[in-house]
């Protein structure tokens, strides 16, 4: 244990030290150049390591993945569009896509609604209790999906009838005199997928709440006052005065959550590994790569994901340009 | 004239009194909504908070129960049968820490998360400085590239990188995950830092230049200290993200001597024969660091998040 710890500390220091030395050396190198060239070249030296990281870890792999998606399982021969047609033609993959769409439709909207509701309600408490309530709801954000998986097992766990139930939901159900339900295998109307979504909501509603609450507090009091003088009800004030003014934040949260949900992996992987028809694209990708060792399928799945993200990317860039123009 | 003087002095006082009372009534309206809504709002928030905390509470209780109790009855029985209170124990923590090697995994998680947090902050801060304060051809195009990469899922990197790592025998080592997290966190970090730095007063940098400070000095002495809110909020986010990450660790490290705590706990879940008390103790060990980081640094985190959102 001691040796392990010392080793770990040395590794950390070496890694961090290497990064610091890199910049020191880069800076010394540029300063060797004659004055005018120093100023011209320096910006590129400052951004070079960042772009090296981005090029190696995003741009090159993105191109390579597109290439692999047209090749066979071990990337040794071209197969054309066969990976795509095989995936889209299989019933199980279409189910996987459907589940993913279900997540995309439900989770971002539910996150916004719950986050907004809690933000508005907590805003009416005394500052002390408001802070406590917000911390309680924000806290699961610090918990990993693996941790959340262990936590939620005690909600969804199932034992045979006549045995004591360890899961809270089944304790309630059997307490009311019914037979225990195998929650995670209950696929009627994709019920089990919704149960997994509840875990994600539990984990990230706090994030939405914090951002939305800050935005609500930023709404100028004069506008609320004016609406009240005009005789608007609280509900009208919320819908017509507050919501339009925090719309930018709502969109930001919505996009952030949507992107997170599109590539949801760990909660499903830990809870069901995609079994019982709860599979999503992220888990399918992982299993194609590491259970079936099929690079072609895995790459094709990622390419589809990239295509799905493209509209959001375009929106982001446009939004950024509009913002910069105002600045 | 004399009688008007007290009136004149009273008048502002009166005006102030009425203005404070009106402000107070306004605040009452703000916080209380429509009077009766207040207890209802309180009750709703209380119920929501209970719903949010109960699952975690159940985990904590289970981790302190002995093997028989944890596997034969629900955790809430601790409250219904007081005799089981005397059987609460730390044994499971001891057992997972040593026998299930969670202690090693715990240290590995630090060895992974600290450099994977610090290095991208450093690299991104330099790049953000260049984007915010230096003029060079291609600057705007390159920054648009950063913005567009914000949403690219990191899945794209996994297949090609596994091949590269295989060629360089990097798979299974700490630098393999450091580099991956540096690459994946980079565009967000540059985006946040650059947006923050461009709100800093340009005159400060100009005057530093006139005083003969180089960019390198200005960066370290002036910009880094002034950018602490943005740096801290990204660093906290990145630390939580790396510590809690399962996918990148599974792909580039896998199980074994260098596995982080998320993989170790996932293994425990897989071997449920070991019992719930061990799984829960392991789960709690994996959560304690991010929870401490989160609670102690929440202020920075929230400030950074909201600063970004107000702009975005």
Show the domain range for A143.
86-326
Q: Is A78 helix (H, G, I), strand (E, B) or coil?
A: strand
Domain count across chain A: 2
Closest CB from A146, A154, A263 relative to B59: A154
Averaged over B156-179, what is the pLDDT?
Answer: 90
**Domain co-membership, A247 together with A102:** yes
pLDDT in tens, A42-63: 899 999 999 999 999 999 999 9
Residues A278, A189, single domain; the answer is yes
Between chains, do B157 and A58 touch, taking CB under 8 Å as contact? Answer: yes
Q: Is residue A155 part of a domain?
A: yes
Residue A264 lies in a domain: yes
pLDDT in tens, A127-177: 888 899 999 999 999 999 999 988 998 899 888 888 888 899 999 999 898
Q: Which residues in chain B are closer than 8 Å to A265, comparing Cβ atoms?
A: 246-247
Are residues A195 and A61 located together in one domain of the fold?
no
Both A29 and A135 in one domain: the answer is no
Q: Among A247, A243, A64, which Cα is nearest to B309's?
A: A247
Q: Are residues A247 and A99 in the same domain?
A: yes
Q: HSE of A93 in the Cβ direction (CA atoms, 13 Å)?
A: 17
SS3 A71: strand
For residue B33, give the 3-state DSSP assignment: coil
Mutate one of A54, A69, A202 to test the B interface: name it (highest B CB count within 10 A): A54
Average pLDDT over residues B104-110: 94
Task: Tell me what pLDDT residue A99 has.
Answer: 96
Q: Is the Cβ pair B118, A145 closer than 8 Å?
A: no
| B274, B283 Cβ separation under 8 angstroms | no
Q: Same structural domain for residues A46 and A101?
A: no
State the smallest CA–CA distance between residue B137 and chain A in angstroms. Answer: 9
Q: How many CA atoms lie within 13 A of A294 on its CB side?
A: 20
**CA–CA dist B288, B293 (Å, integer):** 9
- From chain A, pick out residues whose CB is under 8 angstroms from the CB of B146: 54
**Chain-chain contact of B56 with A323 (C-beta, under 8 angstroms):** no
Q: Which of A98, A93, A138 is nearest to A114 (CA)?
A: A138
Q: How far separated are the first and last CA of chain B, in Å rounded?
A: 60
Interface test with B, best of A26, A41, A43 (most B CBs within 10 A): A43
Q: Do A135 and B295 touch (CB under 8 A)?
A: yes
In this complex, which of A47, A234, A316 lies closest to B142 when CB atoms are compared? A47
pLDDT at B5 over 50: no
Same domain (yes/no): A92, A64: no
Find the closest chain B residue to A11 by CA distance: B111
Please say if the pLDDT value at position B34 is more than 50: no
Q: What is the mean pLDDT of residues B268-277?
A: 78
**Cα(B162)–Cα(B154) distance, rounded to whole angstroms?**
13
Helices (H) and strands (E) in chain A, counts: 16, 0
Minimal Cβ distance to A166: which of B182, B214, B276: B276
Give B-chain residues touching A238 at CB under 8 angstroms: none
Same domain, A245 and A148: yes
Chain B residue numbers with beta carbons less than 8 Å from the beta carbon of A171 are: 74, 76
* Contact check, Cβ <8 Å, A144/B244: yes
Residues B49 and B71: their CA atoms lie apart, in Å, by 27
* Helical packing angle, B91-98 and B276-311, nearest 10°: 80
Q: Is A318 left (phi over 0), alpha (psi -120 to 50) or beta?
A: alpha
- Average pLDDT score over residue span B261-273: 85
Task: Name the residue of chain A whose CA is nearest to B252's CA.
Answer: A290
Domains and CATH numbers, chain B: 95-311 (1.10.3720.10)
Mutation site, A12, A47, A246, interface B, largest B CB count within 10 A: A47
Q: Using 50 as the pLDDT threshold, list the residues of chain A that sit under it.
A: none
User: What ipTM was estimated for this complex?
Assistant: 0.91
- Name the token pair of B92: 């499971």
Q: Which of B62, B123, B276 sits opposite A50 (nearest CB)?
A: B123
Whether B119 has a pLDDT exceeding 60, the answer reads: yes
Residue-level pLDDT at B284: 92
Report the CATH number at residue A160: 1.10.3720.10
Confidence of residue B87 (pLDDT cuts 50, 70, 90): confident
- What was the pLDDT predicted at B150? 87
Q: Which of A68, A95, A119 is the last residue of a domain?
A: A68
- Token pair 């089990």 is found at A192
Q: Are residues A129 and A192 in the same domain?
A: yes
Does A23 lie in the same domain as A91?
no
Domain annotation covers residue A271: yes
Q: Answer whether B186 sits within 8 Å of A57, measured CB to CB.
A: yes
Residue B310 has pLDDT above 70, yes or no: no
Q: How many A-B residue pairs are in contact by the CB < 8 A criterion?
A: 330
Are A57 and A99 contained in the same domain? no
Give the containing element (helix H, strand E) for B67. helix B67-72
Hey, is A179 helix, strand or coil? coil
Do B26 and B19 form a contact (C-beta atoms < 8 A)? no
Bridge partners of A310, per DSSP, are: none
Residues of B in contact with A313 (CB under 8 A): 148, 150-152
- Cα angle A90, A105, A317 (rounded to 5 degrees) comes to 100
Buried b (16+ CB within 10 A) or exposed e, A1-40: eeeeeeebeebbeebbeebeebbeebbeebeeeeeeeeee
Torsion of CA B234, B236, B238, B244, to 10 degrees: -160
Per-residue pLDDT at B101 exceeds 80: yes
Contact at CB, A44 and B280, closer than 8 angstroms: no
Q: How far apart are CA A118 and CA A133, in angstroms?
A: 9
Contact B240 A133 (CB under 8 A): no
Kindly report, residue by residue over B226-266, the tens digit of the pLDDT: 999 889 989 998 999 999 999 999 999 999 899 999 999 99
**Same-domain check for residues A190 and A145:** yes
Q: How confident is the model at residue B13 (pLDDT cuts 50, 70, 90)?
A: very low
Best probe of the A interface among B132, B156, B165, B296, by most A CBs < 10 A, is B156
In the prediction, which pLDDT does B25 show? Answer: 38
More confident residue, B197 or B35: B197
| pLDDT score of B308 | 52
Are residues B148 and A316, on separate chains, in Cβ contact within 8 Å? Answer: yes
Q: Which two tokens stand for residue B58?
A: 């159940």
Question: Coil, strand, or helix at residue A182?
Answer: coil
Instruction: Show Cβ contacts of residue B35 under 8 Å, excluding neighbours closer than 6 positions.
Output: none
Q: Does A53 reside within a domain?
A: yes
pLDDT: which is higher, B221 or B15: B221
Query: Chain A: nearest CA to B307, how far in angstroms?
Result: 9
pLDDT score for B4: 32
pLDDT score, position B11: 33
Whether the per-residue pLDDT at B33 is higher than 80: the answer is no
Of the residues B42, B79, B123, the best mutation for testing chain A's interface (the one with the most A CB atoms within 10 Å of its CB) is: B123
DSSP lists the bridge partners of residue A71 as A78
Closest-CA residue in chain A for B22? A225
A64: how many CB neighbours lie within 10 A of its CB?
Answer: 19
């Amino acid at each position: 244990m001691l040796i392990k710890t010392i080793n770990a500390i040395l590794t950390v220091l070496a890694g961090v030290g290497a990064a610091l030395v890199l910049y020191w050396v880069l800076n010394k190198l540029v300063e060797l150049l004659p004055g005018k060239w120093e100023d011209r070249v320096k910006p590129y030296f400052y951004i070079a390591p960042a772009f090296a990281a981005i090029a190696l870890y995003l741009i090159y792999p993105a191109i390579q993945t597109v290439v692999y998606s047209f090749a066979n399982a071990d990337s040794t021969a071209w197969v054309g569009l066969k990976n795509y047609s095989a995936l889209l033609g299989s019933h199980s993959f279409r189910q996987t896509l459907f589940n993913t769409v279900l997540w995309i439709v439900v989770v971002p909207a539910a996150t916004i609604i719950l986050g907004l509701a809690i933000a508005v309600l907590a805003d009416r408490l005394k500052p002390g209790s408001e802070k406590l309530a917000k911390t309680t709801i924000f806290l699961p954000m610090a918990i990993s999906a693996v941790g959340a998986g262990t936590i939620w097992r005690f909600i969804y766990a199932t034992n045979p009838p006549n045995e004591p139930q360890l899961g809270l939901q089944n304790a309630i159900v059997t307490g009311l005199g019914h037979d225990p339900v195998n929650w995670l295998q209950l696929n009627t109307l994709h019920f089990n997928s919704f149960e997994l979504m509840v875990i994600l909501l539990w984990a990230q509603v706090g994030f939405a709440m914090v951002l939305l609450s800050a935005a609500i507090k930023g709404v100028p009091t004069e506008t609320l006052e004016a609406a009240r003088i005009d005789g608007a009800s609280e509900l009208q004030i919320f819908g017509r005065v507050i919501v339009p003014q925090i719309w930018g934040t709502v969109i930001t949260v919505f996009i952030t959550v949507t992107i997170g949900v599109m590539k949801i992996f760990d909660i499903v992987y830990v809870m069901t590994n995609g079994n019982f028809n709860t599979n999503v694209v992220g888990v399918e990708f992982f299993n194609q790569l590491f259970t079936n060792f099929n690079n072609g399928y895995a790459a094709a799945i990622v390419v589809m994901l990239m295509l799905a993200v493209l509209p959001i990317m375009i929106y982001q860039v446009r939004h950024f340009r509009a913002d910069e123009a105002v600045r | 004239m004399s009688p008007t003087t007290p009136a004149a002095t009273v008048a502002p006082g009166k005006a102030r009194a009425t203005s404070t009372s009106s402000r107070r009534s306004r605040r009452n309206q703000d916080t209380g909504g429509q009077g009766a809504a207040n207890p209802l709002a309180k009750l709703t928030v209380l119920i929501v908070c209970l719903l949010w905390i109960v699952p975690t509470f159940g985990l904590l209780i289970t981790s302190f129960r002995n093997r028989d109790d944890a596997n034969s009855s629900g955790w809430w029985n601790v409250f219904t049968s007081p005799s089981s209170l005397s059987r609460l124990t730390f044994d499971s923590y001891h057992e997972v820490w040593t026998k299930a090697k969670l202690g090693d995994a715990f240290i590995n998680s630090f060895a992974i998360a600290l450099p994977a947090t610090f290095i991208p902050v450093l690299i991104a801060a330099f790049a953000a400085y260049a984007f915010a304060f230096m003029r060079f051809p291609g600057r705007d195009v390159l920054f648009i590239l950063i913005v567009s990469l914000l949403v690219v899922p990191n899945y794209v990197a996994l297949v090609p990188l596994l091949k590269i790592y295989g060629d360089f025998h990097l798979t299974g080592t700490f630098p393999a995950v450091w580099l991956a997290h540096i690459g994946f966190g980079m565009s967000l970090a540059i985006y946040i830092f650059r947006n923050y730095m461009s709100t800093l007063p340009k005159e400060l940098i100009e005057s530093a230049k006139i005083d003969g400070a180089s960019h390198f000095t200005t960066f370290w002495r002036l910009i880094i200290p002034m950018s602490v809110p943005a740096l801290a909020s990204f660093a906290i986010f990145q630390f939580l993200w790396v510590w809690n990450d399962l996918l990148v660790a599974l792909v580039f490290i896998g199980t074994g001597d260098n596995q982080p705590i998320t993989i170790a706990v996932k293994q425990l879940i897989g071997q449920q024969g070991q019992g719930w008390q061990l799984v829960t103790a392991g789960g709690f060990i994996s959560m304690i660091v991010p929870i401490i980081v989160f609670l102690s640094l929440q202020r920075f985190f929230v400030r950074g998040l909201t600063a970004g959102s107000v702009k975005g």
